[in-house]
Amino acid sequence: EVQLLESGGGLVQPGGSLRLSCAASGFTFSRYAMSWVRQAPGKGLEWVSSISGSGSSTSYADSVKGRFTFSRDNSKNTLHLQMNSLRAEDTAVYYCPRVGPQDDFDYWGQGTLVTVSS
Amino acid sequence: SSELTQDPAVSVALGQTVRITCQGDSLRSYYASWYQQKPGQAPVLVIYAKNNRPSGIPDRFSGSSSGNTASLTITGAQAEDEGDYYCNSRDSSGNHYVFGTGTKVTVL
């Protein structure tokens, strides 16, 4: 059974940093690209970033480029999202869905809440 | 354009059919996938690669596409189908993903 478990969320001040993690299990981790998708309170879904199976290729939404860094450790089946220079508009639930073979997001975790506020 | 536009809300009588649309230039080049989200829960994939259902998704859900518009149809809507629905695809450059604005479905 595919399982994705996000962690690391919390309250951080504007300008601060936070590191999210996502632990994956139930599939051959290194064979799949992964992504981060966020949802601000009461708002829609927003794609944040994706990483290839090997970790050699990443892409970012313009809203986070230069501030967020997506990495993976295939030996530990873990993803990390390093978030720097956080802004109030980064407040959201962050999900780490798997990118399926047909370029969709086929499995999702329950998400972790990031709140940026003073 | 990198946007995917959906109607904000639709309603459907119990047992009737409802179609949700998603419009965007990138849909001329890339398939759409569709996600159902209920309050307080993570999204669930219901349709991928235009008209394929993951295991466990009822066959009342179907997808289609024409030109710059993708559609999700629920045939014989049930009370448990209430929720928010989002389309997703690549943007026009193919380098990024983009989600639709979302449609709230109410079953009357």
Q: Which of A46, A50, A102 sits opposite B99 (nearest CB)?
A: A46
Q: Which of A47, A109, A110 sits opposite B99 (nearest CB)?
A: A47
Q: What pLDDT digit, counting tens, does each position of B29-51 carry?
A: 999 999 999 999 999 999 999 79
Which of residues 20 through 79 in chain B touch A, CB cutoff 8 A?
A: 30-31, 33, 35, 37, 42-45, 48-49, 52, 54
Per-residue pLDDT of chain A (118 residues; tens, 9 = 90+): 999 999 999 999 999 999 999 999 999 999 999 999 999 999 999 999 999 999 999 999 999 999 999 999 999 999 999 999 999 999 999 999 999 999 999 999 999 999 999 9
CA A32 distance to own-chain centroid: 14
pLDDT at B59 over 80: yes
Residue A22, Cβ neighbours under 10 Å: how many? 26
The confidence score (pLDDT) of residue B34 equals: 98
pLDDT at B1 over 90: no
The confidence score (pLDDT) of residue B2 equals: 65
- Secondary structure in 3-state letters for chain A: CCEEEEECCEEECCCCCEEEEEEEECCCHHHCCEEEEEECCCCCEEEEEEECCCCCCEEECCCCCCCEEEEEECCCCEEEEEECCCCHHHCEEEECCEECCCCCEEECCCCEEEEECC
Q: Are the Cβ atoms of B102 and A109 closer than 8 angstroms?
A: no
The confidence score (pLDDT) of residue A64 equals: 98
